[in-house]
């Protein structure tokens, strides 16, 4: 117990800003997903969330970060020893329920393939995709879960699936830079590259409400949706990493021009769109089974 608490305390000091897409982006993807749920999935979601929609809970994993998650993501691949927590194979179940190890990022190898572990030679590295995989397996037994637990599990899945589509939530093999903490300038403001993707860039290209934006982004035909939702969560992470790699060409100290937002509009819309379709596909699979 002491060991895990030390990890939590040590990394709380890093004050990581990891709210991918911020509330707007999460709401857009969740709304798109909601519009593509099967009747069975819609019914199950209602039983899990009551009067709330998946849009309403889409940002809960950020709002309740202190209660639901401790985020020790955004770690460089070769950090100082003091920043390398020993891998914890099992969370001590005697700990308070709010101590969980769900993270908001994932790591990929040199070919952009997501890892299927968070144990790297005895050291922990956050793996959102592994967490989504495990949470999905847990939610398949939703009828036997405690009502509060199934609400949290569903809310986490809604949030984390969107997270893997945010460019700065991917750490590429060989990139030793602290992904979430890249300092840049955008629109004459100093900020983290993550913050640019989190909110400022989206605000530049989406001047509408989340519901209007969802209508404008949700433009794909059935063939596209079928193609983009093939495979599993690891396949989706691979595709996302391939598409987003170009965004990591923005390095520390960069003065990003205003035109960058327009240049990245198509990618941002694609990721928001894909995140929504894939979330719907995942929930449909979970609740159909």
Domain range summary for the chain, segments of one domain joined by +: 2-288
The predicted pLDDT at position 78 comes to: 46
Model pLDDT for residues 14-47, shown as the tens digit of each residue:
233 444 578 999 999 999 999 999 999 999 999 9
Model pLDDT for residues 108-143, shown as the tens digit of each residue:
999 999 999 887 776 667 789 999 999 999 999 999
Tell me the pLDDT band of 92, cut-offs 50, 70 and 90.
very low
The predicted pLDDT at position 121 comes to: 73
Model pLDDT for residues 202-242, shown as the tens digit of each residue:
989 999 999 999 999 999 999 999 999 999 999 999 999 99
What does the alpha-carbon distance between residue 128 and residue 267 come to, in Å, rounded to a whole number? Answer: 21
Residues in the chain: 289
The predicted pLDDT at position 285 comes to: 98
The predicted pLDDT at position 109 comes to: 92
Flag whether pLDDT at 1 surpasses 50: no
**For the chain, where are the alpha helices, taking DSSP H only?**
2-12, 22-34, 39-49, 60-63, 65-68, 128-139, 147-163, 193-195, 201-205, 210-217, 222-228, 233-244, 259-263, 265-288
Flag whether pLDDT at 85 surpasses 70: no
CB 184 within 8 A of CB 196: yes
Tell me the pLDDT band of 58, cut-offs 50, 70 and 90.
very high
Assigned superfamily of 2-288: P1 Nuclease (1.10.575.10)
How many other CB atoms are there within 10 angstroms of residue 175's CB atom?
16
């Amino acid at each position: 117990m002491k060991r895990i608490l030390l990890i939590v305390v040590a990394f709380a000091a890093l004050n990581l800003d990891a709210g991918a897409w911020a509330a707007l982006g999460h709401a857009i993807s969740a709304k798109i997903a909601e519009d593509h749920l099967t009747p069975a999935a819609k019914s199950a979601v209602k039983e899990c969330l009551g009067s709330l929609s998946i849009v309403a809970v889409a940002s809960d994993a950020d709002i309740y970060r202190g209660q639901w998650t401790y985020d020790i993501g955004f770690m460089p691949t070769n950090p100082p020893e003091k920043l390398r927590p020993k891998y914890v194979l099992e969370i001590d179940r005697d700990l308070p329920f709010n101590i969980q190890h769900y993270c908001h990022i994932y790591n990929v190898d040199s070919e952009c393939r997501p890892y299927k572990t968070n144990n790297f030679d005895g050291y922990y590295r956050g793996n959102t995709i592994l967490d989504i995989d495990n949470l999905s397996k847990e939610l398949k037994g939703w009828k036997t879960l405690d009502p509060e637990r199934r609400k949290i599990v569903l809310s986490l899945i809604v949030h984390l699936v969107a997270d893997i589509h945010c460019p700065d939530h991917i750490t590429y093999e060989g990139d030793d830079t602290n992904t979430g903490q890249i300092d840049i300038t955008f629109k004459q403001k100093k900020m983290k590259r993550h913050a640019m993707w989190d909110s400022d860039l989206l605000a530049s290209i989406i001047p509408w409400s989340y519901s209007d934006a969802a209508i404008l982004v949700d433009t794909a035909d059935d063939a596209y949706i079928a193609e983009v939702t093939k495979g599993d969560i690891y396949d989706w992470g691979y595709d996302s990493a391939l598409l987003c790699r170009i965004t990591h060409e923005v390095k520390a100290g960069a003065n990003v021009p205003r035109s960058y937002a327009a240049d990245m509009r198509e990618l941002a819309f694609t990721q928001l769109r894909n995140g929504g379709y894939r979330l719907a596909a995942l929930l449909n699979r979970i609740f159909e089974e």
